Amino acid sequence: MDDNLDEKEREYAGEKEASVYGIIVHPQPEQEEMLHSLAPLAKEEYVLGDRAFLVGTFYTRPYAKTVSADYRQQGFFTVVHDYSVS
């Protein structure tokens, strides 16, 4: 590992509080098979009464948002949820 941090690394390292950010995906019925192939360990949850899948948890918001953006590029509706907020 080198001592030179790029912009994203500095952004990720800037998190000061210990938080957990989850990526929640609300797939359309026709997207579920693709979601299960992309995230076979996704955990089914009910969010505000609607079925969704927790596809991963991360310790920095910027990294969670980056991963979330990857799912959005594939047509999924995603939300980054801060589990440290009550």
Domain for residue 77, yes or no? yes
Q: Which residues contact 66 (CB under 8 A, 6 or more apart)?
A: 8
**Count of domains observed in the chain:** 1
Domain for residue 3, yes or no? no
Q: In one letter, which amino acid is 21?
A: Y
> Structure tokens of 8?
């994203």
> Structure tokens of 47?
């969010």
pTM of the predicted protein model? 0.74
Rounded Cα distance between 26 and 31, Å, is: 9
Task: Convert the pLDDT of each residue in 29-39 to its tens digit.
Answer: 999 999 999 99
Provide the 3-class DSSP secondary structure of residue 79. Answer: strand
Task: Convert the pLDDT of each residue in 24-77 to its tens digit.
Answer: 999 999 999 999 999 999 999 998 788 999 999 999 999 999 999 999 999 999
Domain that includes residue 22, residue range: 17-82
Rounded Cα distance between 16 and 30, Å, is: 39
CATH number at residue 30: 3.30.70
